[in-house]
Amino acid sequence: MDQVIEWLNLNDAERPELATLNFVAVYSAGHTYGPEAPEILAATIEIDPQIAELWEASERAGIEISLLKANDQWDGRSGSEYLC
């Protein structure tokens, strides 16, 4: 994540137009313990400050970012059943 924050501080000509991050803690917890395990919540709480740090860095740099959360822990449910 440090690299992405460094990129945010580059000028427009040098800054990448796209950067991706994988917060592996949630992914690993899901594959290890299952999609409804309490370890999922624990991993989410673990990465929350990191996401906040990224968001705050983008605000300091004056750059609008979009965050997308993708999940491959599908168990047949859909829609609002997955909202926390």
- Residue 62, in any domain of the structure: yes
Residue 50 lies in a domain: yes
Task: Answer whether residue 36 is part of any domain.
Answer: yes
Specify whether the CB–CB gap between 45 and 25 falls below 8 A. no
- End-to-end alpha carbon distance in the chain: 25
Closest to 70 measured CA to CA, from 15, 4, 21: 21
Query: Is 14 inside a domain boundary?
Result: yes
Q: What is the residue range of 13's domain?
A: 2-66
In the predicted model, is pLDDT for residue 38 greater than 80? yes
CB 8 within 8 A of CB 15: yes
What's the whole-number average pLDDT of the chain?
84
pLDDT band at 36 (very low <50, low <70, confident <90, very high): confident
Is pTM, for the whole model, over 0.75?
A: no
Domain total in the chain: 1
Q: Does residue 70 carry a pLDDT above 80?
A: no
Alpha helices, DSSP H only, in 1-84? 2-8, 24-33, 38-61
